[in-house]
Structure 1
Amino acid sequence: MNGRVERAHRTQLNEICSVYPIDFTSPALNIVLEEWERIYSEVRSHRTLDNLKLYEYIHQNPP
């Protein structure tokens, strides 16, 4: 589990830094993080989820 979380953090940091050239102490950071989370959950498909978007996978596989 820990490795997966670390990998997710690395992916998040790499993607955010490549798209949003901001100072990470900036108040704009929360806005950037919220937008990235929306894209990650609603727009981006995930190979490990059978190429579904996160919300699609959760909808099709309720807990």
Structure 2
Amino acid sequence: TIARFKGHSVHTYKIKNKPAPFGCEILGLCDVGYTFSFLPKSRIEKSKELEAQTLAGMDRG
């Protein structure tokens, strides 16, 4: 999900042809209208939690 953001930050993303072309990317774990967990994603800083979950997902495949 892209959360609309009009300020200046090195963490914002630009995605063409989206309703909110500039913003912060947020990865969420949701089901039936409930949000269980979310992680903000950054272009500059890598999230250790996100890398660990990505690597764990690769081990299953």
Q: State TM-score, norm by structure 2.
A: 0.26
Higher relative contact order (CA 8 A, sep 6+): 2
1 or 2, which has the higher helix percentage?
1
Q: State TM-score, norm by structure 1.
A: 0.26
